[in-house]
Structure 1
């Protein structure tokens, strides 16, 4: 997911997407621990998506505070 796409989402959609990605990351880590993960690069991709969403959420909060 690209930052441009993330910026178009509302606050509730961002929270929902963040929860989904955190759950996916948990499942990926679990699969990795029991050696059933097919694509280890997906872990890093999900972490980066979480970081992008959190960055946009922070930007939105800063804009609201001004």
Structure 2
């Protein structure tokens, strides 16, 4: 997911997106633990998407506070 796509969303949508990404990341971690995950790069991509979404959310909250 690109940062420009995330910036187009409002705060509530971003929080929902973060929770969905966290659930997906948990599922991927469980698949890795049980050796069912064949593509390990998905874990890193999901983790970076979570960080990207949290960054955009923090920026939006900071702008709203000013």
TM-score, length of structure 2 as denominator length: 0.96
Report how far residue 65 of structure 1 moved. Answer: 1.3
Report how far residue 25 of structure 1 moved. Answer: 0.3
Aligned to 1:59: 59
Report how far residue 38 of structure 1 moved. Answer: 1.7
Aligned to 1:36: 36
- Give the whole-Å Cα distance in 2 for the aligned partners of 1:13 and 1:65: 18
Aligned to 2:46: 46
- Give the whole-Å Cα distance in 1 for the aligned partners of 2:10 and 2:48: 19
Instruction: Kindly report the root-mean-square deviation, in angstroms, between the aligned alpha carbons of the 2 structures.
Output: 0.6
The aligned length equals 66
4+ residue stretches of structure 1 with deviation over 2 A?
A: none
Give the secondary-structure state (helix, strand or coil) at the position aligned to 2:9.
coil
Unaligned stretches of 5+ residues in structure 1: none
